[in-house]
């Protein structure tokens, strides 16, 4: 059962309550312990899948982009944001085998090979837009939107410094689950410093 599920959280609480009851009924001198000691004994620690944190971050980014588009672009967002939609459609268009009918993975691979670019996406020739299918027209339109480009750059920076390094640490064979506490604490400190610098910049620029 996923540890992100509401039913899993309810199960954990029920299990802890049941465990606490058993300790009170069967442990000698339980009532003679101080309240802090009782809380320490009855507290149940749970280990959660670190990759679910990345899923939660993705959900948060989706909601942030929706709010940003509604505020900055002054438009109503129904469903996912245009920025997330752009990422999805670009992957659909250029990742091999995903959409063989409408995609252009081979064309992009050929183009990048011709200009000697490896593992890096570069602007590609648009050609005649009248000959593009619906998927490619959506990709082209979304990539021409400057607000979408800003969001894509933000995603790239976040992936470079947060998501990708964290993912590698979580899945590394030599990473013990107890080692993650220090990594999560460092991540919290980074976010706090970013929030502090943002507040300072906001006051300085009179936003």
Q: Are residues 18 and 55 in the same domain?
A: no
% the chain with pLDDT above 90: 10
**Residue at 202 is within a domain:** no
Q: Are residues 56 and 12 in the same domain?
A: no
Of 57-61, 82-86, 127-131, 170-174, which gets the smallest average pLDDT? 127-131
Q: Are residues 104 and 19 in the same domain?
A: no
Q: Are residues 82 and 105 in the same domain?
A: yes
Of residues 129 and 37, more confidently modeled: 37
**Residue at 111 is within a domain:** yes
**Residue at 200 is within a domain:** no
CB atoms within 10 A of CB 98: 12
Mean pLDDT of the region 140-169: 90
Dihedrals phi, psi of 64, to nearest 5 degrees:
-65, -45
Of residues 75 and 202, more confidently modeled: 75
Radius of gyration of the chain (CA): 25
In tens, the pLDDT along 164-186 reads 999 999 889 998 888 888 999 99
Q: Are residues 33 and 79 in the same domain?
A: no
Contact 139, 89 (CB under 8 A): yes
What is residue 4's DSSP assignment?
T
Output the average pLDDT for the chain.
82
**Residue at 61 is within a domain:** yes
Q: Are residues 28 and 54 in the same domain?
A: no
Q: Are residues 144 and 79 in the same domain?
A: yes
Q: How confident is the model at residue 206 (pLDDT cuts 50, 70, 90)?
A: low
In tens, the pLDDT along 101-118 reads 778 888 888 888 888 877
Q: How far apart, in whole angstroms, are the C-alpha atoms of residue 107 and residue 113?
A: 10
**Residue at 196 is within a domain:** no
Q: How far apart, in whole angstroms, are the C-alpha atoms of residue 127 and residue 108?
A: 13
Query: pTM of the predicted model, to two decimals?
Result: 0.63
**Residue at 195 is within a domain:** no
Q: How confident is the model at residue 200 (pLDDT cuts 50, 70, 90)?
A: low
pLDDT of residue 207: 45
Please state the domain count of the chain.
2
Q: Are residues 33 and 104 in the same domain?
A: no
Q: Could you tell me the end-to-end alpha-carbon distance of the chain, in angstroms, rounded to an integer?
A: 45
Q: Are residues 127 and 169 in the same domain?
A: yes
Q: Are residues 154 and 90 in the same domain?
A: yes
Q: Are residues 38 and 64 in the same domain?
A: no
Q: Which domain holds residue 93?
A: 50-175
Q: Are residues 70 and 127 in the same domain?
A: yes
**Residue at 14 is within a domain:** yes
**Residue at 32 is within a domain:** yes
């Amino acid at each position: 059962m996923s540890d992100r599920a509401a039913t899993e959280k309810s199960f954990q609480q029920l299990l802890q309550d049941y465990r606490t009851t058993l300790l009170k009924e069967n442990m000698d001198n339980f009532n003679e312990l101080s309240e802090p000691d009782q809380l320490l004994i009855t507290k149940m620690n749970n280990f959660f899948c670190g990759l679910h944190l990345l899923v939660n971050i993705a959900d948060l980014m989706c909601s942030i982009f929706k709010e940003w588009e509604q505020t900055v672009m002054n438009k109503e967002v129904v469903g996912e944001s245009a920025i997330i939609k752009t990422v999805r459609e670009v992957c659909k268009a250029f990742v091999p085998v995903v959409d063989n009918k409408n995609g252009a993975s081979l064309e992009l691979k050929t183009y990048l090979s011709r200009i000697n670019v490896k593992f890096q996406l570069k602007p590609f020739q648009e050609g005649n837009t009248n000959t593009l299918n619906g998927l490619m027209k959506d990709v082209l339109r979304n990539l021409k939107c400057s607000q979408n480009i800003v969001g894509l750059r933000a995603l790239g920076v976040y992936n470079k410094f947060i998501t990708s390094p964290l993912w590698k640490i979580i899945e590394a064979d030599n990473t013990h689950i107890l080692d993650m506490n220090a990594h999560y604490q460092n991540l919290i400190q980074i976010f706090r410093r970013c929030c502090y610098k943002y507040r300072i910049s906001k006051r300085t620029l009179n936003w």
